[in-house]
Amino acid sequence: MIAFVRGTVAHAGLDHLVVDLGAVGVTVQCTPATALSVRAGDHVELTTSMVVREDGWTLYGFADPDERAVFEQVQTVSGIGPRIALALLGTLAPDELRRAVASGDERALTAVPGIGRKGAQRLLLELADRLGPPSGGATAVLRSGGVPSGWQQSVSAGLVSLGWSAREADAAVEQPDPVLVAQADADGDRADVGALLKAALRGLDRA
């Protein structure tokens, strides 16, 4: 299987990247935070996991091996496929998920689009002895360049791609961490959209 891809970003979507490997371009599905952290022309290296099904092969990309490990572990839970596993990582960082599972925080899991109460209960039950304790490390930042200007629009689009309504996304964009917002406004087109997306998700979780 393909363990990683390294190359130049040919196209950055809301939930995928097209990576130019030289002779071929590979589409890699990823979280909005990862997809929005780079732009065309950036050099990236993504840890990957391939999901093979009868209707096709899909490559998923992650900022670090820990994200990939959690993505694969989550799919061992009955009823959880790659789409929900990726949405879970799009909402919760690996250590946030570990803390939620360790503390039995059902609310944190139901905040993920596509996961209801029963799904959250299955995750808590079946992941209890699989994820291990929080590592305490920060999630690796995948970025060698910046992001498109207009961070509010990028964050809102990222939330919609995760399953939130446009109204919820627009409201959440107005509520993220004020320190991050001030920094984003100062950074302009190099704002850390991934961090702002996480802040907006935290606001949605508190709603």
Taking only the tens place, the pLDDT of each residue in 110-169 is 988 889 999 999 999 999 888 877 766 444 334 333 333 367 777 777 777 777 777 777
Amino acid 197: pLDDT: 77
What is the per-residue pLDDT for 158? 77
Report yes or no: 144 and 42 within 8 Å, Cβ to Cβ.
yes
pLDDT band at 175 (very low <50, low <70, confident <90, very high): low
Q: For residues 182 and 151, is the Cβ–Cβ distance under 8 A?
A: no
Beta-carbon neighbour count of residue 69 at 10 Å? 16
What is the pLDDT at residue 164?
Answer: 73
In the structure, what pLDDT confidence band is assigned to residue 55 with cuts at 50, 70 and 90? confident
**DSSP-derived pairing of the beta strands 16-20 and 4-12:** antiparallel
Which segment, 73-82, 109-118, 171-180, is predicted with the most confidence on average? 73-82
- Overall average pLDDT of the 82-96 stretch: 91
pLDDT for 73 beyond 90: yes
Note the pLDDT of residue 129. 84
* Domain residue limits, the chain: 4-62, 65-127, 151-206
Candidate from 32-36, 47-51, 76-80 with smallest mean pLDDT: 32-36
Query: Considering only 68-77, 105-114, 184-193, which range has the smallest mean pLDDT?
Result: 184-193
Q: How far apart are CA 51 and CA 66, in angstroms?
A: 17
One CATH from 1.10.150.20, 1.10.486.10, 3.20.20.140, 1.10.10.350 for 65-127: 1.10.150.20
Q: In the chain, pLDDT over 90 holds for what percent of residues?
A: 43
Topology of domain 4-62 in CATH is OB fold (Dihydrolipoamide Acetyltransferase, E2P) (2.40.50)
Note the pLDDT of residue 144. 37
Q: In which region does residue 186 sit, left (phi positive, over 0), alpha (psi from -120 to 50) or beta (all else)?
A: alpha
Residue 185 or residue 82, greater confidence: 82
What is the full DSSP assignment across the chain? ---EEEEEEEEE-SSEEEEE-SS-EEEEE--HHHHTT--TT-EEEEEEEEEEETTEEEEEEESSHHHHHHHHHHTTSTT--HHHHHHHHHHS-HHHHHHHHHHT-HHHHHTSTT--HHHHHHHHHHHTTTS-S---PPPPP--SS---S-HHHHHHHHHHHHT--HHHHHHHHTSS-HHHHHHHHHHGGG--HHHHHHHHHHHHHH-
Q: What percent of the chain has pLDDT over 70?
A: 81
- Is 0.75 surpassed by the pTM of this model? no
